Amino acid sequence: MAPAKTLLTAALLLATAPAFAETVVAQKGRAFRPAEISVSRGETVIFTNEDSYIHQVYVPGMFESAEKAPGENYYQPFTISGTFQVRCRIHPTMKLTVRVR
């Protein structure tokens, strides 16, 4: 294949490749907003602390973030299909259901 044609083919493949999606979940009012989301496998969920105090996120046996101050974000990819309950250790009543398809 000619070099120009190879470059064109590579450029077209990159242009049509799906980008990984991101979903934003706010931590506000001592709650996850929204309280339930569905994402595709491989998608990243961005947890944004919109409260005036610290938060944290975890799924037992899967991941656990450090404490995040107001205005900070935490990025967590969901690479396994299933339904997961995300919690905050600081505020145990906070619950988020994540369905990964």
Identify the pLDDT of residue 3: 53
> pTM, whole model, 2 decimals?
0.79
* pLDDT exceeds 70 at position 7: no
Identify the pLDDT of residue 20: 62
d(CA 44, CA 5): 34
* pLDDT exceeds 70 at position 86: yes
Q: pLDDT tens across 18-77, in order?
A: 456 899 999 999 999 999 999 999 999 999 999 999 999 999 999 999 999 999 999 999
Helix and strand tally (H, E) in the chain?
1, 9
The structural architecture, per CATH, of the domain 20-100 is Sandwich (2.60)
Torsion of CA 71, 74, 78, 84, to 10 degrees: -70
The domain locations on the chain are 20-100
* pLDDT exceeds 50 at position 12: no
